[in-house]
Structure 1
């Protein structure tokens, strides 16, 4: 028997219960806000050597079990939910530019979404840029209209891509963890992301294996746990170092809603040792330079 998405349970997972009526801009905004506030950007699957795929139903199952994911998981699962709710959703191959010296263009390290057929005053063509997999970026969908868009304390920009003919470019706020993201206009199948997902998850050269990051967006700002450093950007800004195992897992639960109840105690202990060792290596480096932020996924 073919499995299908449990829409009601998914909506309860993100705190919405049920959504009445046909697809609308208002409901799309509610869905996007709820998803980024309740389902964090994280990639513990890499740090705990858990094999995952880009199959949207599998990703949705992980979310329903209380976990998050990175872009292939989060946007993949959301695309499934949106389609089940009647939205016209398309997936697009993208590329996150991590730093100023990082590659620009559609490198395949990101999955972006658009939703069409929802005209509004600020979106006359009815096409919306939807992305719950950018970590510290969008809180709400953006009208796919060139120009500057402000959300809470952050300012974004949409424009034609200079690196991808016919593509689009999302420029992040200067305080963000990456510079921007380019994506192709044409739709893509999930199979287009499988090879890059394997590379980002398993390659020793993957930046995702050097520093662990958890991010959660809300209307007023972003919570970010990078290594053992917990920071807030936006409202009530500040940074603290979580020096103990108990503090770390309490922060995961209290700030990000990640209890990791599906992880056995001995595996959580191994995870903590790995995180602590990575932090110690960083402290022991020559001048403790800022570690590169993982880009993509």
Structure 2
């Protein structure tokens, strides 16, 4: 990533949302990181204030990223979670960014297409993963996704 792009990317696992205008004792600025789909992460919004936060059985950390770092904020995940942390670029984006990502994230119809998206969008490499393991993972992902779609349609 070019240095001039480090605060302007929408590339990554998710597009986090920031809520503003909600000041409180824990967030005098009124700015909050709102979980819009991390899965096993936040129960409640976390203030965009450096600190440690307990939610249910999990512990999270919020820290400002150094000027030479990538992004503006880092959410550290509880050690029991499936990821270690998430970087946040603190800038507004248009709704079409979410729409484009949703289309990309939900239209893979084949294993090669899915792997290409994972490589290009998330910088993931699967060079050392056997083809059989990738095929099994793809089958599991598709089955889980199809079950989820079916549950949404019947709800």
1:132–1:138: 8 Å Cα contact kept in structure 2? no
Q: Determine which structure has greater relative contact order: mean sequence separation of CA pairs < 8 Å that are 6+ residues apart, divided by chain length.
A: 1
Q: 1:119 to 1:177 in 2, by over 3 A?
A: same
Report what 1:170 is aligned to.
75
Report what 1:116 is aligned to.
20
**3-state DSSP of counterpart to 2:105:** helix
Q: Which segment is superposed worse, 129-138 or 197-206?
A: 197-206
Shift of 1:109: 3.2
**3-state DSSP of counterpart to 2:153:** coil
**CA distance in structure 2 between the aligned counterparts of 1:210 and 1:177, rounded to whole angstroms:** 20
Shift of 1:122: 1.1
1:106–1:182: 8 Å Cα contact kept in structure 2? no
Shift of 1:137: 0.2
- RMSD of Structure 2 on Structure 1 (CA): 3.2
Q: 1:188 to 1:147 in 2, by over 3 A?
A: same
Report what 2:151 is aligned to.
260
Report what 1:136 is aligned to.
40
Q: 1:262 to 1:195 in 2, by over 3 A?
A: closer
Shift of 1:188: 0.6
Which stretches in structure 1 are left out of the alignment for 5+ residues? 1-93, 95-104, 214-226, 228-248, 253-257, 264-297
**CA distance in structure 2 between the aligned counterparts of 1:126 and 1:179, rounded to whole angstroms:** 26
Q: 1:262 to 1:193 in 2, by over 3 A?
A: closer
TM-score by length of 1: 0.34
Which stretches in structure 2 are left out of the alignment for 5+ residues? 1-6, 119-136
Q: 1:153 to 1:121 in 2, by over 3 A?
A: same
Q: Say if 2:59 is the partner of 1:155.
A: yes
